[in-house]
């Protein structure tokens, strides 16, 4: 397989999941309409149907009440540490008082009003309902599914990946990315023999979804050769005097051509990998893969909204194939380098071409001959 025809095995759009939309909620409303239509067409008497409906609402509210009581039995032992010593805070954390309280009152009143004609007493109904709901809680039948837990974590921004992405951006990328182009320009002026590719003067950040990070890129792929370090950035940060930030420049071999490229791994992936190897973290390989994808998506969203980092980076997400491919990493990088050149060429073609606006005054004087200069009205010079 030639390097010219090589393309990544999977597009980034297929590797990285997008944020979940509102299709589940839309499906809820659709099923609600279908269910209401089916009940209407069934022609059931209104009173028994209303009584059953309110009973189900009462059961749901009783479940919320009993569940809150069970959680409150634990939280009262953590008032000082978790709720600043406030019983009301603990109560509000266990019960959604602004919603479940009024709902339970309304549904209970409606059920009592519709109870006439029922042979069983109200106390028996409530007792059986409470028993049923407590059995559900005890057996753990109400636990949210994996999809629900994933969606809740993503919406609340409480995943491990969100914290790692923000820490990586605030503590590192936001500092170094605005200086990348200047460092590359300084290197190009000092080394005119090295081919300059301005369109690739960016920091190329590798995001392997396996989180398998090499400390030495030359050992990861022999077609990646270390060249030198770019100019350092020295800052006093978090109590450390003269903290040094720098990037390494590599030459990526493409058959008989070399491409200079500033490239490095996203270091937070090492934390994800270490967590999956530590039993204390209870972090499986599936969790690691999901968090790596979410890390990429979160970091991409953060960088896209950062004005000072615009045009200074290139995220390279990839998934290693099971085959023993010795130069897959260099080919992945080369594909992105070529893509940047093509994008830059298309950008240049779409720019309005105005030759007169780019000519200097010297060029204008060279283009105008003496005969073309303005002549006096009288030929005798007076």
pLDDT value at position 374? 46
Q: What is the mean pLDDT of residues 353-373?
A: 41
Cα–Cα distance, 352 to 338 (Å, whole number):
24
pLDDT value at position 26? 87
Q: Which of 2-16, 26-40, 122-136, 221-235 has the lowest mean pLDDT?
A: 2-16
Which one is predicted more confidently, 372 or 65?
65
| Average pLDDT score over the chain | 78
Cα–Cα distance, 280 to 233 (Å, whole number):
37
Q: Which helix (H) or strand (E) holds 8?
A: none
User: What percentage of the chain exceeds 70 in pLDDT?
Assistant: 75
pLDDT at 173 over 90: yes
Q: pLDDT digits over 293-350, tens only?
A: 999 999 999 999 999 999 899 999 998 766 667 788 999 999 999 888 887 666 555 5
pLDDT at 86 over 80: yes
pLDDT at 366 over 80: no
pLDDT value at position 206? 95
pLDDT value at position 69? 86
pLDDT value at position 177? 94
For residue 317, give the nearest of 165, 176, 147, 155 by alpha carbon: 165
pTM: 0.69
Cα–Cα distance, 342 to 340 (Å, whole number):
5
Angle between helices 160-168 and 268-277 (to 10 degrees): 150
Q: pLDDT digits over 322-335, tens only?
A: 666 778 899 999 99
The 3-class SS string of 56-101 reads HHHHHHHHHHHHHHHHHHHHHHHHHHHHCCCHHHHHHHHCCCCCHH
Which one is predicted more confidently, 198 or 351?
198
For residue 232, give the nearest of 179, 172, 178 by alpha carbon: 179
Cα–Cα distance, 266 to 264 (Å, whole number):
7
pLDDT value at position 100? 65
| pLDDT confidence tier of residue 153, bands split at 50, 70 and 90 | low
pLDDT value at position 3? 43
Cα–Cα distance, 63 to 65 (Å, whole number):
5
Which one is predicted more confidently, 18 or 90?
90
| pLDDT confidence tier of residue 127, bands split at 50, 70 and 90 | confident
pLDDT at 34 over 70: yes
pLDDT at 75 over 70: yes
Q: Which helix (H) or strand (E) holds 357?
A: helix 355-358
Q: Which helix (H) or strand (E) holds 262?
A: strand 257-265
pLDDT value at position 225? 93
Which one is predicted more confidently, 375 or 116?
116
| pLDDT confidence tier of residue 167, bands split at 50, 70 and 90 | very high
pLDDT at 186 over 70: yes
Q: What is the mean pLDDT of residues 160-187?
A: 92
Q: What is the mean pLDDT of residues 370-375?
A: 46
Burial of 380 (0-12, 13-18, 19+ CB in 10 A): exposed
pLDDT value at position 272? 92
Backbone angles phi, psi at 65, to 5 degrees: -65, -50
CB 153 within 8 A of CB 159: yes
pLDDT value at position 121? 65
pLDDT value at position 344? 62
């Amino acid at each position: 397989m030639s390097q010219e025809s090589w393309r990544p095995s999977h597009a980034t759009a297929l590797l990285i999941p997008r944020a979940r939309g509102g299709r589940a909620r839309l499906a809820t409303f659709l099923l609600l309409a279908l269910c209401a239509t089916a009940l209407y067409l069934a022609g059931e008497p209104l009173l028994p149907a209303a009584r059953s409906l309110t009973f189900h609402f009462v059961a749901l509210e009783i479940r919320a009440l009993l569940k809150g009581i069970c959680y409150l039995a634990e939280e009262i032992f953590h008032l000082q540490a978790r709720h600043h010593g406030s019983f009301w805070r603990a109560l509000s954390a266990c019960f959604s008082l602004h919603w479940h309280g009024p709902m339970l009152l309304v549904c209970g009143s409606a059920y009592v009003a519709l109870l006439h004609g029922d042979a069983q007493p109200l106390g028996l109904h409530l007792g059986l309902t409470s028993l049923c709901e407590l059995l559900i809680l005890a057996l753990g039948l109400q636990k949210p599914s994996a999809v629900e837990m994933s969606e809740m974590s993503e919406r609340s921004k409480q995943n491990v990946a969100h914290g790692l992405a923000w820490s990586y951006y605030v503590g590192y990328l936001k500092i170094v990315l605005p200086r990348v182009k200047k460092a590359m320009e300084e290197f190009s002026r000092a080394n005119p023999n090295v081919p300059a590719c301005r369109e690739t003067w960016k920091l190329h950040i590798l995001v392997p979804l396996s989180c398998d990070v090499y400390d030495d890129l030359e050992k990861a792929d022999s077609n990646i050769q270390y060249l030198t370090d770019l100019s350092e950035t020295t800052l006093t940060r978090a109590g450390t005097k003269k903290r040094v930030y720098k990037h390494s420049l590599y030459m990526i071999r493409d058959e008989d051509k070399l491409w200079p490229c500033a490239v490095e791994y996203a270091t937070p992936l090492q934390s994800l990998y270490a967590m999956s190897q530590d039993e204390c973290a209870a972090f499986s390989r599936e969790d690691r893969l999901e968090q790596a994808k979410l890390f990429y998506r979160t970091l991409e969203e953060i960088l896209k909204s950062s004005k000072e980092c615009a045009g200074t980076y290139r995220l390279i997400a990839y998934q290693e194939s099971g085959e023993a491919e010795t130069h897959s990493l260099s080919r992945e990088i080369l594909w992105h380098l070529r893509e940047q050149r093509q994008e830059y060429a298309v950008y240049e073609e779409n720019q309005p071409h105005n030759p007169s606006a780019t000519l200097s005054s010297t060029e204008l004087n060279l283009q105008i001959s003496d005969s073309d200069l303005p002549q006096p009205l009288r030929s005798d010079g007076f």
